[in-house]
Structure 1
Amino acid sequence: MKRLALAVALLASSAAIAQSGTLSGVDKALMDDSVKPGDNFDDYANGTWRKTAQIPADRSAIGVGLDVSLKAEARNAAIIKGAAAAKSAPGSDQQRIADYYAAFVDTAGIEARGLRPIQGDLAAIAAIRDKRALSAAIGAAMRSDTDPFNNNNYASTNNLFGLFVSQDLNRPTRNVPYLMQGGLGLPDRDYYLSDKPDMAEIRTAYRAYLTQLMQLAGLSDPQGRADRVFALEMKIAAAQTDIIASQDAHKGDNPWTRADFTTRAPGMDWNAFWTAAGMPANQRDFIAWQPEAITKLSALVASEPLQSWQDWLAFHTVNQVTSVLPKAINDASFDFYGRTLTGTPAQQPRDKRGIAAVNGALGEAVGKIYAQRYFPASSKVEIQKMVANIVAAFDRRIAALDWMAPATKAEARRKLSVLKVGVGYPDHWWNYPTYAVRADDPVGNAQRAKLSLYRYHLSKLGKPVDRSEWWMTPQTVNAVNLPLQNALNFPAAILESPYFDPRFDAAANYGAIGSVIGHEISHSFDNLGSDFDSTGRLHNWWTPADLARFEAAGKALVAQYDAYEALPGLHLNGEQELGENIADVAGLTAAFEAYHASLGGKPAPVIDGLTGDQRFFLAFAQSWRTKMRDKALRARIATDVHAPAPWRVLTVRNLDGWYAPFQVKPGQKLYLTPEKRVHVW
């Protein structure tokens, strides 16, 4: 650090702190001065921390995200346990929170009930006698666990199909149902189809888990059933569309009518399917997001033996609720999905899992209390101001682009001008259909929670589009861009130190939460978001020359990330991660320029021996401080559209403004000549 700041700067730092009480926002104790910033900026910013940080036995990774999540978790625990201690009116949110948690942590009751809570479901599956009844069973199991625009998996798990209801790609004033592929017990199709040795090992372990779960569920011939389920899922995986193609909105834009499913995807009894799925009889229009997969999966319903499908339904019925079944089943599930898939040695304590379960089922109810208690109006005002500044910086960049035609530029700026930004919590809350929560029925509680969310999605059909609808709860440590709505959500829980702290100097706040804000804004202009115009319609608003320039920048970014080797022989997938990497580059650039604009022409103070630009980039790097188990890293690269955190830090090498503050020179590993730096926007 000393080589980056003069002695006079240290004096100025002390004066700045004494006069204003402003904190640097950069933790110098985490840094490793033995590493040159130009060789590995992540190690420079976080290297000392990484050398000593220990991943807890019940976690697959550790870092800033976990630190902030633990703060939210403690607050959620206070809300949930407070509800449990209070005597609330039957049917109230407080009562449902209390009873859901009580049911989840009542391990004695779970053991005593054994498998009785799912016996009725398993008996119904065993009673299926023909493909019409099978189609109805598959339809009845469908849930809203997919989102083609913001979900990493791009596929429904457990259920053969998943449903997503949002505005029409081509008529953005109406809502339509999107049908998406699913049906796998492993995270992605490549786990089944890849010939890599580590994937083969996981498949072997999965087959053993299938057998074990069938046996623990008391089903006859567990080995035979497991073999049939695995063989069927291999065919389901082969039928699915890959993760890269599933991110392409143009490939997903397939308007089908209700009648089209029968003619384009024969095999399923679609009338029985839609009736059992609760789809309104007058709903005629759909979007088939992965049409080839839907056709192939429907064909499998007809071609594969009924017994294989019954075994598959039985397995997934059990597999979806292992957390609230007896300990032997819960332990078996964790042993595979925790230890084998992510390398996590130990399961989290029951009470912590209970808090997460309540949040997953009653997130809106908990979120209302969370927002009221823990998100001050002053923070909302400050974040809204930062958002406005970063949007303005992005707009200035668009206006200054010398390669973009006036018509393309005008639509890009129009889209930015109508961007809808939600900070902290929604203006109004989701109106879930009320469902019963019982303190003695944890399995039923979990099942009814999913059904309630699914019915909420169905209830949007035939109603006007709500661009202010939120897709995250206030207690979620994350943020999201909603391309169809041309909207952003920044939940209260992520607007916490060290991402955002009102005591920090502007440089740190713009580098940390500002880069997150810029990232989400930039998603409106990444390789997916740029396909949508200012109304949310899927529409090519680019001239051919502009689009060619944009795509060339994307290809350069793909090549840059393809070159990163995370583990021996395992490289990042630049194409799979392209949208997120575009958002990282463009968002960090906009945040950096917004920070400079916020200075109002005045020089930035030197604080703690660091200049403003140094603090900006170091705060950004430290906001991605992460240490991850190798198995979890492999799983992340296989299934996630985000680059792992250490490589997101390296975004800095594409910004001209990073080089001088850290004296990055040619010959250093991260150095890029100016023409090789990818700017995109």
Structure 2
Amino acid sequence: MKAILTSAICSSLLLITGCNSQMTNNESNSAISTQKTALASGIEKANIDNSVRPQDNFYRYVNGGWMKNNEVPGDKTAIGSFYDLRDKADDDVKAIIEELAATDNLKMGSDEQKVADLFRSYMDSENRNALGSKPIQPIFDAINNISNASELSEFFGKYQAVGVGSPLAFYISIDAKDSSSYATHIWQSGLGLPDKDYYFNEAERFTALRAGYVAHIEKMFDLAGLKGGKEAAKTIMALETKLANYHWTRVQTRDSEKRYNKFAVSDLSKLTDAFDWSAYLSAQGVAKQKDIIINQPDFIEGFGKIFAETPLKDWQTYLTFHTLSNFAPYLSADIDNENFDFYSKQLSGRKEQRPQWKRGVSVVNRNLGEVIGKIYVSRHFTPKAKARMSELVENLRTAYGDSIDGLEWMSGDTKKSAHVKLAAFTPKIGYPDKWEDYSALNIESDDLVGNVMRSSRLGHDKEVAKLGGPIHDWEWHMSPQTVNAYYSPTANEIVFPAAILQPPFFNMQADDAVNYGGIGAVIGHEMGHGFDDQGSKYDADGNLRNWWTEQDLKEFANRTKALVEQYANYQVFEDLNVNGELTLGENIGDLSGVTIAYKAYKASLNGKEAPVIDGLTGDQRFFMGYAQIWRSKIVEKSMRNRVATDPHSPGEFRALGSLSNMNEFYDAFDVKEGDAMYIAPEKRVKIW
């Protein structure tokens, strides 16, 4: 539910799911050492490739040396700036966990005991291997005991709360047209492959993945001791293909207005009367709910037809596999490894499992994130850093306001509303003011699956308890040790966890230019989401409401269309380009972010000339600081998967696309007509 929630209400700097590639301890320490010895400019000059002209490919000029000298290890799908920091965060969290795990006689029920025993339960391979699939046998039994459509509907609702996937993803979030209250929502779901296109694309890669998926299902049945795996695989693939046919594309699901479809619960039968909505919603714990927001009504109508036409036995087969698949990472090594073989190796190109301790850290972070977060910030985030970050945020806010005033294409009325929204942004920096309460969660050292299920259930119950109550404006959707940032349109808040506030993004020892090019652009990016093609549909209070004049909205659309076309021309591989429509929101965020960060940097100089450091002007350091935060190297399978599913452009084009539109970049590096990065002045996109 958390992943659905995040995709529905938050725009993050980096894709949250599928980006947990990690490095070994030695590699992580090396990366941090490089950062510590970086020159006073904050630019890692050893990474520069002087064989590349900055005017032709600025990203490879700044990062090419690093790209030539570093390869992606077998246990990763990507390396780079973000991943270095994620490694460091993992090391820091591991140290906290190990301290707690080494402590004797921890008080039962204490946060410390929960962290230690959750980690122990994951690391106890002997117990997990001995149990095999037994921990989820009670769910298998419940599936086998379903006797009719109403009980099937009830199962979908009841078992989502403990982590079993189904075609309907229920979640609770702020109502986009009444931001003072929470609403229930349903999102399309139910596929085992990453996206609908994987079921229908006839290219060789996709046909091979479909065959691999069918073989994977059969093998999972065999490993769990379940009979009829070969037939089950055919049944599941056929059923998922029918569901995929009705799924909206990822581009369609970006549209906030089309997604907002509030139905009275009593009217849900108009979408489908084959499904027992009463049984489903009662099982979710919201029997008294009077209305619900359906994100993709077409899908629900199609699902209703499939639900009615599909034999109960086929649904039981489908649910058995998805239960096994959802819990595979917590079961015996043979099941876990088969799950890894398909989802990580075949789909994403990861050659080997991450070290077990890293996976254990991820389990603790997912289930007890703020327990660890409290200790993490006390050790790794200083009040001085928070104060400096707060200052930067306000500098960026001021620069954004000045930029709005200077927009030639926007009328005064729309500018006024934009200022109101900008002033209402709520920044959250480092860590929550109020921490999550885990006192009701029972964690046992020998019950990994039970721990995960109880954690999921507690999270679900907390969400349901929000209905009818005040907005939890203290709540975060990322833990402090997360290397990311996000904007929530319904809360109109920009959030920066502590772990991203480190070099190369935020360097307390570096010149201001690199900080504005790094974390300044990140701040501007999240602010930019409030004014991207979807965030701009929400007002200062977080309500989905048009505050634009008709002419301004038309001009805005023209400019965003030009950005779509620009990015659609970037070639990732010979047969694959960036999806300009899917990545539009993030591309607007990037362009806005670096544009506003530059304005804020220039304002911070108070009319003085920036010093030349290491032979680089202030403007040059700013742009180089921006390019180096996108430094990355990604294996081909993972890159292809990301281009198909990730709303963010690949890092190289995040740097090139934004800077190619900035006149100031042309001046700083003498970019002229004929250079590869050159765009004619009249075709450069300026939005904010």
The interval holding the TM-score normalised by the smaller chain is over 0.9
**How far 1:232 sits from its partner (Å)?**
0.5
2:121–2:448 Cα contact (<8 Å) kept: yes
Indicate the SS of the match to 1:36: coil
What do residues 609-640 of structure 1 show as CA deviations (whole Å, max 9, x unaligned)?
A: 11111111111101110000000000000000
Q: Give the 5 Å matches for 1:301-380.
A: 301-380=307-386
Residues 49 and 64, structure 2, Cα contact 8 Å, conserved in 1? yes
| 1:104 match | 122
**Structure 2 residue 614 is the aligned partner of structure 1 residue 597:** no
SS in 2 for 1:244: helix
1:559 — aligned with what? 565
Match among 85, 106, 122 for residue 140 of structure 2: 122
State the one-letter code of the partner of 2:645.
T
What is the CA-CA distance between 1:90 and the residue it aligns to?
0.7
| Distance apart, 1:332 and its partner CA | 0.4
Cα deviation for residue 433 of structure 1 reads 6.8
Cα deviation for residue 89 of structure 1 reads 1.3
Answer with 281-290 or 392-401: which moved more.
Answer: 281-290
Cα deviations across residues 243-268 of structure 1 (Å, max 9, x unaligned)?
11101010011111111222322221
| Structure 2: distance between partners of 1:282 and 1:259 | 11
Using the alignment, how far apart are the partners of 1:458 and 1:69 within structure 2? 32
The 3-state SS of whatever aligns with 1:489 is strand
Which residue of the partner structure matches residue 498 of structure 2?
492
Contact 1:144–1:164 at 8 Å: present in 2 too? no
Q: Which SS does the other structure have where 1:401 is aligned?
A: coil
Amino acid in the other structure paired with 1:422: K
* CA–CA distance in structure 1, aligned partners of residues 301 and 463 of structure 2: 24
Aligned to 1:664, the other structure's residue is in SS state: coil
Q: Which residue identity lines up with residue 378 of structure 1 in the other structure? A: K
Percent of aligned positions that are identical: 41
Q: Which amino acid aligns with 1:171?
A: D
SS in 1 for 2:180: coil
Following the alignment from structure 2 to structure 1, what is the Cα–Cα distance between the partners of residues 230 and 439?
40
Q: Is the 8 A contact 1:64 1:625 kept in 2?
A: yes
The answer for the alignment partner of 2:407 in structure 1 is: 401
Q: State which drifts further: 202-211 or 166-175.
A: 166-175
Residue aligning to 1:16: none
Deviates more, 1:295-304 or 1:656-665: 295-304
Q: Distance in 2 between matches of 1:466 and 1:319?
A: 33
Hey, what does 2:57 align to over in structure 1?
40
For 1:258 and 1:179, the matched residues in 2 are separated by 12
Where 2:79 maps in the other structure, the secondary structure is strand
Equivalent of 1:95 in 113, 124, 144: 113
1:515 matched to 2:533? The reply is no
Which of 644, 661, 681 is matched with 1:674 structurally? Answer: 681
Query: Could you tell which deviates more after superposition, 473-482 or 193-202?
Result: 193-202
Match of 1:82 in 2: 99
- 2:283 aligned partner: 276
Kindly provide the CA deviation profile for residues 280-332 of structure 1, in whole angstroms up to 9, marking residues without a partner as x.
x3221211111111222233221111111101100011111111211111110
CA distance in 1, matches of 2:42, 2:111: 38
CA contact (8 A) 1:165 1:457 kept: yes
> Is the contact made by 1:519 and 1:584 (CA closer than 8 Å) also made in structure 2?
yes
Q: Tell me the secondary structure at the aligned position of residue 323 of structure 2.
A: helix
Q: Distance in 2 between matches of 1:131 and 1:674?
A: 62
Residue equivalent to 1:254: 261
Bigger CA drift: 421-430 or 500-509? Answer: 421-430
Task: Kindly indicate whether residue 197 of structure 2 is the aligned counterpart of residue 190 of structure 1.
Answer: yes
AA in 2 matched with 1:90: M
Equivalent runs, 1:614-633 vs 2, <5 Å: 614-633=620-639
3-state SS of paired residue (1:287): strand
Distance in 2, Cα, partners of 1:431 & 1:294: 35
1:63 to 74, 80, 93: 80
In structure 1, the residue matched to 2:540 is: 534
8 Å CA contact 1:515–1:591 kept in 2: the answer is yes
Q: Quick check: 2:128–2:331 contact (8 Å CA) kept in 1?
A: yes
Letter in 1 for 2:630: W
Mapping 1:172-183, distance limit 5 Å: 172-183=179-190
- Residue pair 2:427, 2:495 contacting (<8 A) in 1 also: yes
Give 2:260's aligned amino acid: D
Offset of residue 432 of structure 1: 5.0
Q: Residues of 1 paired with 2:91 and 2:660: CA distance? A: 37
Matched-pair contact (CA < 8 Å) for 1:163–1:180: yes
Q: Which moved more, 1:262-271 or 1:634-643?
A: 262-271
Amino acid of the structure 2 residue aligned with 1:98: A
Could you tell me which amino acid in structure 1 is paired with residue 454 of structure 2? R
Q: Per-residue displacement from partner, 1:433-460 (whole Å, max 9, x unpaired)? A: 7221111111111122222211111111
Which amino acid in structure 1 is aligned with residue 158 of structure 2?
A: A
Name the structure 1 match of 2:647: 641
Determine if contact 2:122/2:448 at 8 Å carries over to the other structure. Answer: yes
TM alignment of 1:82-231, pairs within 5 A: 82-86=99-103, 87-143=105-161, 158-231=165-238
Is contact 2:486–2:526 with CA below 8 Å preserved after alignment?
Answer: yes
Root mean square deviation of aligned Cα? 1.4
Q: Which amino acid letter does the alignment assign opposite residue 108 of structure 2?
A: P
SS at match of 1:233: helix
Which of 570, 573, 586 aligns to 2:592? It is 586
**Number of paired residues?**
649
Q: 2:448 aligns with which of 430, 439, 442?
A: 442
**Larger displacement relative to structure 2 (425-434 or 163-172):** 425-434
Instruction: Specify the SS of the correspondent of 2:373.
Output: helix
Contact 2:111–2:438, Cα closer than 8 Å, also in 1: no
SS at match of 2:495: strand
**Which residue in the other structure is 1:238 paired with?**
245
User: What is the letter of the counterpart of residue 106 of structure 2?
Assistant: S
* TM-fit CA distance, 1:277: 1.6
CA distance in 2 between counterparts of 1:675 and 1:598 reads 29
Aligned match for 1:664, one of 656, 671, 674: 671
Q: Partner residue of 2:10?
A: none
* Equivalence for 1:5: none
The aligned residue for residue 4 of structure 1 is none
1:546-595 deviation per Cα after TM superposition (whole angstroms, max 9, x unaligned): 00110001000000000011011101100000000001001100000100
Question: What aligned pairs does 1:4-43 form with structure 2 within 5 A after superposition?
Answer: 23-43=40-60
Distance 1:400 1:144, change over 3 A: farther
Paired position in structure 2 for 1:72: 89
Which residue number corresponds to residue 70 of structure 2? 53
- 1:428 aligns with 434
Q: Deviation at 1:133?
A: 1.0
Which segments of 5 or more consecutive residues in structure 1 lack a partner in the other structure? 1-20, 146-156
Contact 1:415 1:534 in 2 (8 A): yes
1:644 maps to a residue whose letter is P
Contact kept in structure 2, 1:143 and 1:159, CA below 8 Å: no
Residue type of the alignment partner of 1:140? K
Q: CA deviation at 1:144?
A: 9.8
Q: Give the Å deviation of 1:142.
A: 2.4
- Distance, in Å, in 2 between the alignment partners of 1:430 and 1:365 is 8
**How much has 1:95 moved relative to structure 2?**
0.7
**Equivalent-residue separation in structure 1 for 2:337 and 2:343 (angstroms):** 10
Pairing 1:287-302 to 2, within 5 Å after superposition = 287-302=293-308
- Structure 1 residue aligned with 2:13: none
Does structure 2 retain, via aligned residues, the 8 Å contact 1:433–1:452?
no
The answer to whether the 8 Å contact 1:164/1:178 transfers is yes
